[in-house]
Amino acid sequence: MIYTRIVGSGSFLPSTVVSNNDLAKDLLCRGIHTSDDWIVQRTGIKQRYVADVDVNTSHMAVESARMALIDSGIDASDIDLIIVATSTPDCVFPSTACVVQSKLNASRAAAFDLQAACSGFIYSLSTAESFICSGKAKNVLVIGAEKFSRILDWNDRSTCVLFGDGAGAFVLTASYDCGILSSCISSDGSISDILSVSGHFDRGNVNGCPFVRMDGQSVFKNAVYVLEESARAVCDKACVDINSINWFIPHQANIRIIKMLSRRLGISNDKFVITVDKHANTSAASIPLAFNVAKLDGRIKNGDLVLIQGVGGGFTWGSLLVRI
Ligand code: UT7
């Protein structure tokens, strides 16, 4: 049996940290009221990282990928496929993945972007798993990278306080020992309007809204429901008792969603990796960023069973159970 194993991980955060108080002061200059209290109580977010104008998504993707490659011991020239999960590509085309391929000198690799909003990293891992298990690729680099600050309406306090920029990467390889045990990805396009950036180019104009628009309460309710359901589904698929999981890494959007999920699954909060306080919601980058924090601080170890989950625009969601 061939498994897809995570053999390296890396992350990148821009140098500028914006605290809730910094952001509240900045918004107040434009007559928009928010506060550290409101943001912390409703979301758990205390700060976010914001990339400078000249730092684009591919830059952050490359930095996280370099770290993951070093961690894996695999050379860029041995990578067969690069998938970049992003909703904020550098441009329409070439894909951000092709820019990354060139900057890494990963000359053998096929490269493409995958867009599934905040579920993009889970969708990409699941895709990578299919390539590896079918024998079409041996080594795959999967990156989640976002410059969400570009698509935020800084006059809309209900969304602009929620997101941040950053990138995270995994190097995956075929293994006979262990790796991904089960995965599932799902979508429901009939509720796409609850979270969207509808803007698009049309004959030289941008038609539609170029900013994130969200019905926060609908997203919240749907997120809790689908995260619980898909966590149970991947465990059933792999015949794994949910209580035997060492670490839960859900998409980092809101601490209240994570706490509600932990209650509904009957799993202690202590088993959940939380980075939303420091990174805010970095969309497709949130899972690898959180994973790397827990790996570097020694929580995630070889042999651990880890559940990772994404949910977001589309509406999309997915879960993946992996033995490290
Ligand atoms: O990555 C994709 C996944 N995204 C998510 O998972 C987001 C899910 N949704 C949420 O996390 C929450 O719904 C929010 C954090 C977005 C909002 O929390 P909420 O408890 O649902 O608040 P609300 O939208 O019901 O707003 C409550 C009040 C409103 O004022 P009124 O109408 O009660 O007077 C808002 O205008 O809070 C007001 N409000 C704010 N006040 C201060 C909204 N944004 C802010 C703000 N600062 N930044």
* 220 C-beta closer than 6 A to ligand 1: yes
Query: How far, in Å, from the CA of 16 to the mean position of ligand 1?
Result: 25
Distances (CA, A) of 172 to 124, 131, 132, 139, 286: 11, 11, 9, 6, 18
Residue 58 has a pLDDT of 98
The DSSP letter of residue 15 is S
* 310 C-beta closer than 6 A to ligand 1: no
In CATH, the architecture of 3-175 is: 3-Layer(aba) Sandwich (3.40)
Task: Reply yes or no on whether 243 is catalytic.
Answer: no
Distances (CA, A) of 285 to 21, 198, 243: 24, 21, 27
* 219 C-beta closer than 6 A to ligand 1: yes
Query: How far, in Å, from the CA of 194 to the mean position of ligand 1?
Result: 13
In CATH, the architecture of 180-323 is: 3-Layer(aba) Sandwich (3.40)
Confidence of residue 253 (pLDDT cuts 50, 70, 90): very high
* 281 C-beta closer than 6 A to ligand 1: yes
Q: What is the arithmetic mean of pLDDT over 221-235?
A: 98
Domain spans, the chain: 3-175, 180-323
> Which atom of ligand 1 lies at the shortest distance from residue 161's CA?
48
Task: Reply yes or no on whether 251 is catalytic.
Answer: yes
Mean pLDDT in the chain? 98
Confidence of residue 305 (pLDDT cuts 50, 70, 90): very high
> Do 3-175 and 180-323 fold alike per CATH?
yes
Nearest to 318 by CA among 279, 287, 293, 292: 287
Residue 15 CA, distance from chain mean position: 19
Q: What is the arithmetic mean of pLDDT over 263-292?
A: 98
49-95 pLDDT tens trace: 999 999 999 999 999 999 999 999 999 999 999 999 999 999 999 99
